[in-house]
Structure 1
Amino acid sequence: MKLLVLPGDGVGPEVTAQALRVLHWFAEHRGLALEVTERGFGLVNWQRHGTLMPDETWDRIEAAEAILFGAIGSLDQQAVIPSEERRKGSLLRMRKALDLYANIRPIRLLDALLEASPLKPRVAKGADFVILRELTAGMYFGTPRGVETLPDGTRRGVNTHSYTEGEIARAIRFACRLARERRGHVTSVDKANVMEAGALWREVAGRVAREEFPDVTLEHMLADNCAIQIARDPRRFDVIVTDNLFGDLLSDAGGAILGSLGMLPSASVNDRGQALYEPVHGSAPDIAGKGVANPLGAILSAALLLRWTAKRPEDAAMLELAVDRALDGGTRTADIAAPGERVVSTSGMGDAVLHELSLLQREA
């Protein structure tokens, strides 16, 4: 497996290093065939090369089977970089060019983290669902877009929310296939009551599910109601599928169930076998370099890599179990620690997961 590692900015290099330790463990102890190449991405490229995306890095991106990504710098950090350069070196360009249209964001609350959740245990206990976010169309890519000056001198910002039938249909198909492997229930989320693109989304979703996946239960839900239900009754969901903008917002709302975005992994895949894996959290420049960031989002992204790209579901399950056992044993980074609990560093959490992997290997 040709793996390209892009640690990125802020805490990205710190958490990515722990995910790489785990993958190298699987290479050493479980026979994972791994060819790793690492390249700078983001502000580090700008500082070293005067560009966010050197051509050689882009060539590596296009050739990679899997990309392990850390984080991109904040808007404040990028303010000095010309807008054209920001577009050239953006995640949006990578997603669009590689057609990584299916963004998989699992949200699973362990009993060990019930105290970290802001929701009451009777509401949150057992929450386990996936948000499938369409990633290459919608508000973030629609045209026209930009800021224009009107005749009276005032400025207007324009973004266009647009979807084709084909873009909707393939997202729905992906969600239904995913649901078949879980509990067979899909919630399709839109704003069909006020948006024409939302009405089309609902129509296409209903047709695809009805004609191609009669064994999957599909329900429609408005996005604002979905936000309420995620907080009110997260256990009702199995697979949520929605557009780019709503998926961005709702997955962060789902992350709040766990008490920290540092726990959330993601996988963005296309139909050609390429995928990008990254924790959902950002670059967190305020804690970068302090060794306190939670690496579990990155480590669990490595578990998704084992499942989706390496086609090693047993190893993926083993890694997820190792994370569960580390948390069950009381290992906590600062973001998920209750008052009075002992806190470990970023590398300390990596140590705990590797320790559990070694125990599981001996127990097998």
Structure 2
Amino acid sequence: MGLHREPRRRAGHGGGRLRDPVRLGPGSQGRRSPRRSHRGGTGDTAGGAGDERPFGRGAGRRRSRPRAGHAELPIEVGKDTLTLVPDAGLLKQKDESAYPVYIDPTVTWGETDRTLLRSDGYKSYNWGNGSNNQGEGVGHCGTWNGYYCGPGYTQRLYFQFSPASLKGKQVLSAAFRITEPWAFQCDPRWVDLVRTNNFTSSTTWSGRPKELDWMVDRNVSAGRGSACDPDEPTAPIEFKDNPEETNENLTPTVKDFAAGKFSKLTLELRAHDEGDTSAWKRFRNDAVLVVDYVGMPGVPTGVGLVTGSGTVCETKESAPAVVSDPTPTMATIPQTLAGGESGAMLRGAFYVQKKNATGPGRRPSPRSSGRRPGTWATT
């Protein structure tokens, strides 16, 4: 007899979790709505006052084996509605082992450090949102179409994250979320999220972190309100891998981060075209990572055969537990690794092995297929 862990069911990558922000306007431009997953995360700065003069309306218009079931659930966003489309195939499986179906838990946490770097040498470590709550900008701040932003510098924002919140968790999907309260014009412009080397409080533009890998891009505009048609209010912008763009790899990067392959995750927010002043936009200092996960299984407790006085479990072949019931009840208490407890939905699965008559034998993995004299045969 042996025991192995069975991953809980989950309900879809990006579409089945009902906690996503509903972006009814600017947040949904240039990208399909995020998909959910189910199975079977002060003070003004120099140059901020008086820049970016706004202009008015019209100015710029697998499926796996049942015990590891997984499905992609799209969210359809209408003007006033949010529709979750269930995966009928996952919910109609006849194999009892495919149930129950769970929605993945989520962990969200903010950055430990942030900094602003500017091509004219100005920097602002742990910058604030300012008295107008407009945050700080990314892109080229110059003059465009007669409208003035600034004297012509380029600016980028950096965010550094700790892996502490990922302890004991297996990452299923990841997203970077931040609020955009202002854009230079109504038409969307591309913004890139890039992984870089780490920074410190003394890092400057001339020694700015090296760009290591492009994560995700978004084509968005938010924060101009009624100056646009339709309105473009302040909105949370979510950067998440698009399945149709195989070069986007935020989730694999966060998986590596959780696995301890690097000690800090530093992400850079920048305009894709840093020569285009019309792409200038602002973001608040509320950046977070949002991770869907499953608690990683630990060593179970309470394993054994149910008897009248509790459970019995013998680990020595020379002194086995003897039961007369041909259909005994087995019990266990699934456990997660430290850090994966919150929202965990694990269940144990038993397998039974019959020892062949000859030879001393040994017990292989339940997934082993060969049977030799003196070995354990899974039944």
TM-score range, shorter chain: under 0.3
TM-score scaled by structure 1? 0.23
- Choose 1 or 2 for highest CA Rg: 2
Query: Which structure carries more strand by proportion?
Result: 2
Q: As a proportion of its length, which structure holds more helix?
A: 1
